[in-house]
């Protein structure tokens, strides 16, 4: 079947951050220097060529942009300053918007005004809802126990409800990713046992980010790992141990120790990333998209307001703790609700990409069913003879 060409694909990618794709003349330096560029996944050169040819459907089913961690070696070695690393980052933004069935991701990536409006709207609506609820069930001067302004049980239920909504949206988008990158693109169907045999790749890459550590300098990997460790740990604490986290004012070290470690990791790593973008240092900081800034700034605000709320609560200032808690929760909801539509979803799509890439690799190497049947028939004939 003939592939449809979209001659405006490069122009569309510019809205997602790519600017120099047309500069590439396919010398291959980028793929040669990349530690992860191996058959059958040769990148960034193949992706650059696919973009230049306008093969939109082929690009949509590509898994290669997710196998890139943007270490920047390809951009540094490019003799034409085509910025292949930034192009791969732009492709990940574009793919997120393609997986997203709601279309929200497309609006956020294409317009900083739409993204800012969404952030403000979710924050204000959440804050107003929390204040109205808290005023109806308790007093702003009571933090925990009878008459509490924001009872932990009610907040816990709200967290689970929000998590369920996000998981449903993200699950549908992940299914669309599977359909585009595996089910639709494979010439032959991958057997179910192959999915089971490689299922361990999901937690392995989710928790370790181990491929990033092979990108040369371990500094960027360590910063990236601290960010992932920090917000995954915070997510687990909020979803599973909120009542223990909120109780007090005594400190419960069995849960708060993890919260302190996560907060420290985020308070160290996120300023490093922000500094790189402010100073435009390193390949990753040289060019940035609005969503990169929102990603990091929201994360910083969530951590800072959480630490502030924790401190004033432990010091016994219940009124200030409730005010800080409303602000903190409003930012948490704003942060968490963006998960399926923006850069937050990297934490899901990357492990899935490693998993799907191996499925595709092994499925392509399997013999056709006809060949298997023919081989079995030949063996039976040989035994009969």
Contacts with 235 (C-beta within 8 Å, 6 or more apart), sequence order: 336
40: tokens are 């059958």
Contacts 24+ apart (CB under 8 A), 110-114: 110/15, 110/16, 112/290
Q: What would the mean pLDDT of 60-66 be, rounded to a whole number?
A: 94
Where is pLDDT greater, at 349 or 249?
349
Confidence at residue 379, expressed as pLDDT on a 0 to 100 scale = 53
**DSSP one-letter code for 43:** T
pLDDT per residue over 268-323, tens digit each? 999 988 888 888 877 777 778 888 888 889 999 999 999 999 999 989 899 999 99
Q: φ, ψ for residue 38 (rounded to 5)?
A: -140, 150
pLDDT per residue over 311-336, tens digit each? 999 898 999 999 999 999 999 999 88
Confidence at residue 382, expressed as pLDDT on a 0 to 100 scale = 53
Contact (CB, 8 A) for 336 and 348: no
Structure confidence at residue 373 as a pLDDT band (50, 70, 90) = very low
Please state the pTM of the whole predicted model.
0.87
Contact (CB, 8 A) for 74 and 34: yes
In this predicted structure, the answer to whether residue 90 has a pLDDT above a threshold of 90 is: yes
Q: What would the mean pLDDT of 16-42 be, rounded to a whole number?
A: 88
Neighbours of 234 (CB within 10 A): 23
One-character DSSP codes across 216-258: S-HHHHHHHHHHHHHHHHHHHHHHHSHHHHH--SS--HHHHHH
Q: What would the mean pLDDT of 110-131 be, rounded to a whole number?
A: 94
Residue 95, preceding peptide bond in cis (omega within 30° of 0): no
pLDDT per residue over 167-178, tens digit each? 999 999 999 999
Q: Is 41 helix (H, G, I), strand (E, B) or coil?
A: strand
| Residues carrying CATH 1.10.1060.10, the chain | 9-99
Structure confidence at residue 210 as a pLDDT band (50, 70, 90) = confident
In this predicted structure, the answer to whether residue 159 has a pLDDT above a threshold of 80 is: yes
236: tokens are 């687990």
Q: Is the dihedral of CA 182, 187, 189, 194 positive or negative?
A: negative
Contact (CB, 8 A) for 129 and 368: no
Alpha carbon distance 136, 211 (integer Å): 50
Mean pLDDT of the residues in the chain:
87
Assign domain 9-99 to its CATH superfamily: Alpha-helical ferredoxin (1.10.1060.10)
Report the percent of the chain where pLDDT is more than 70: 94
Q: What would the mean pLDDT of 37-58 be, rounded to a whole number?
A: 91
Contacts with 328 (C-beta within 8 Å, 6 or more apart), sequence order: 302, 305, 306, 308, 309
Determine the distance from the C-alpha atom of residue 21 to the mean position of all C-alpha atoms in its chain, rounded to a whole number.
Answer: 24
Contact (CB, 8 A) for 300 and 260: no
């Amino acid at each position: 079947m003939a592939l449809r060409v979209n001659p405006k694909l490069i122009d569309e990618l510019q809205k997602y951050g790519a600017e120099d794709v047309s500069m590439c003349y396919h010398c291959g330096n980028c793929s040669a220097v990349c530690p992860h560029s191996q058959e059958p996944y040769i990148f960034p050169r193949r992706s650059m060529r696919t973009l230049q040819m306008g093969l939109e459907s082929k690009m949509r089913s590509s898994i290669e942009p997710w196998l890139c961690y943007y270490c920047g070696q390809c951009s540094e070695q490019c003799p034409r300053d085509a910025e292949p690393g930034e192009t791969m980052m732009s492709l990940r933004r574009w793919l997120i918007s393609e997986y997203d069935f709601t279309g929200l991701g497309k609006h956020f990536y294409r317009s900083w005004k739409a993204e800012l409006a969404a952030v403000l709207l979710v924050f204000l609506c959440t804050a107003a809802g929390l204040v109205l609820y808290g005023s109806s069930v308790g007093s702003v001067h009571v933090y925990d126990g009878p008459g509490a302004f924001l009872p932990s049980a009610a907040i816990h239920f709200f967290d689970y409800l929000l998590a369920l909504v996000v998981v449903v949206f993200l699950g549908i988008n992940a299914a669309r990713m599977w359909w585009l990158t595996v089910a639709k693109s494979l010439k032959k169907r991958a057997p179910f046992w192959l999915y089971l045999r490689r299922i361990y790749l999901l937690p392995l890459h989710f928790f370790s980010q181990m491929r990033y550590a092979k990108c040369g300098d371990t500094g960027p990997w360590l910063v990236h790992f601290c960010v992932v460790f920090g917000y995954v740990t915070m997510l687990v604490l909020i979803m599973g141990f909120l009542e223990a986290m909120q109780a007090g004012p005594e400190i419960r070290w069995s849960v708060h120790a993890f919260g302190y470690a996560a907060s420290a990791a985020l308070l160290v790593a996120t300023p490093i990333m922000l500094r790189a973008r402010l100073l435009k240092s390193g390949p990753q900081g040289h060019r940035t998209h609005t969503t990169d800034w929102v990603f990091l700034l929201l994360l910083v605000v969530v951590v800072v307001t959480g630490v502030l709320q924790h401190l004033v609560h432990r010091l016994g200032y219940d009124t200030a703790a409730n005010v800080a808690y409303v602000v903190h929760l409003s930012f948490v909801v704003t942060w968490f609700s963006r998960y399926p539509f923006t850069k937050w979803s990297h934490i899901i799509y990357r492990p899935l990409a490693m998993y799907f890439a191996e499925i595709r690799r092994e499925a392509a190497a399997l013999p056709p069913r006809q060949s298997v049947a023919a081989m079995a028939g030949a063996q039976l004939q040989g035994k009969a003879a």
